[in-house]
Amino acid sequence: MKPRIGVLTSGGDCPGLNAVLRGVVLAAEKLGWEVVGFKDGFEGLLPPGEFVILDRAGTDGIMSLGGTIIGTTNRGHFIAKVGAGDRAVVAADVIEKARGVLASIGVQSLIIVGGDGSMTTALQLQEAGINCIGVPKTIDNDLEATAMTFGFDSAVAAVADALDRLHTTATSHKRVMVLEVMGRHAGWIALHGGIAGGADAILIPEIPFDYEKLATFINKRSAGGNHSSMVVVAEGATPKDGQQVLHQTKEGEYRFGGIGDVVAHELAARTGKETRCCVLGHLQRGGPPTTLDRILGTRFGVQAVQIANEGHFGSMVSYQNYQVQHVSIADAVNRLRLVQPSSQMVQTAREVDISFGE
């Protein structure tokens, strides 16, 4: 039997996941390995094991598809529960069951493609003696350990496209348009998407905003002859002296979303201008990856196999200085990269007259 390497995709989906899977398969086949794709994230590791053999033919043509052909979940038995020292803890018997499944089908190492929560789970599997390699994934691009994650560029492209469309209707009606985008803790998608789409104001979690100042800014634009304005707001943006907007989905579970409507309502009241809100939602997470995300995903997949071949288990692929390298998962987890208000990117936005509502 050929040596086997496992791969799974975990957490929210993201354009570029299939490029990673294809990269893993093509690189692994060169080494004479067989790739086992576990279904629906870590859940596929539970007995009896839900998996498919991924090969060259089965991954042909998948690079341009959004989502993940092996499924994913951000729920289930391996989901991080916060325990002592704020560390996520997966039950010991769950890890033992996964180890049993991996051993029974001859999988010697496991590539885990996921976000920060999935990397925390990967770390625990690694500490329990399962050979793990991490591949970071999030459209939010907010992991400190890697300069970029695939999926981000596609999300930014979706935001810019939405703004291009909203611009024409906003101008025709002399309206204020508020576009709510993803980004719970970090405003990268709003910042990059807003700049690319020619937004007039960008509201992000890292820079608390003031409704009065935002309204004054829009009124000044009107007085200067710009009767429409485009406001991009990250779902985690917070007004000064205010709170993030969350809604309860079920007992004990809250989800971000709704700040766009609140901002639209406040602006309409303070400017007297007709204002509409559009929530971009999962449109920014679906669909074909951009070329950049296809390339980055491919590079991450290939590098994950190379790291496994070199035996650097407990490592996560990382993009630094235009090179794909690796860092230890232990050093990578729980470290968010936030937008710095004094950064060049924010300064650039200010120079092109974008307001942050301060």
> Which spans of this chain sit near ligand F6P (rule: CB under 6 A)?
12, 74, 138-140, 182-184, 235, 256, 285
Question: Residue 7 Cβ, how far from ligand F6P at the closest point, in Å?
Answer: 20
Question: Residue 126 Cβ, how far from ligand F6P at the closest point, in Å?
Answer: 23
Question: Residue 203 has which token pair?
Answer: 């509201």
Question: Residue 182 Cβ, how far from ligand F6P at the closest point, in Å?
Answer: 3
Positive or negative, the CA dihedral 122, 125, 127, 132 is negative
**Of 182 and 307, which has the nearer Cβ to ligand F6P?**
182
Alpha helix stretches (DSSP H) within 39-151: 92-104, 116-127
**Of 267 and 280, which has the nearer Cβ to ligand F6P?**
280
For residue 89, give the 3-state DSSP assignment.
coil
Residue nearest to ligand F6P as judged by C-beta position: 182
Question: Residue 267 Cβ, how far from ligand F6P at the closest point, in Å?
Answer: 23
By the 8 A CB rule, do 190 and 152 touch? no
Residue 68: which residues within 8 A CB-CB, separation 6 or more?
A: 9, 13, 17, 18, 21
By the 8 A CB rule, do 133 and 118 touch? no
Q: Which positions are catalytic?
A: 140
Cα separations (Å) of 174 from 31, 159, 177, 345?
60, 21, 9, 29
Element housing 253 (H / E): strand 253-256
Question: Residue 215 Cβ, how far from ligand F6P at the closest point, in Å?
Answer: 27
Nearest CA-CA partner of 277 in 233, 247, 312: 233
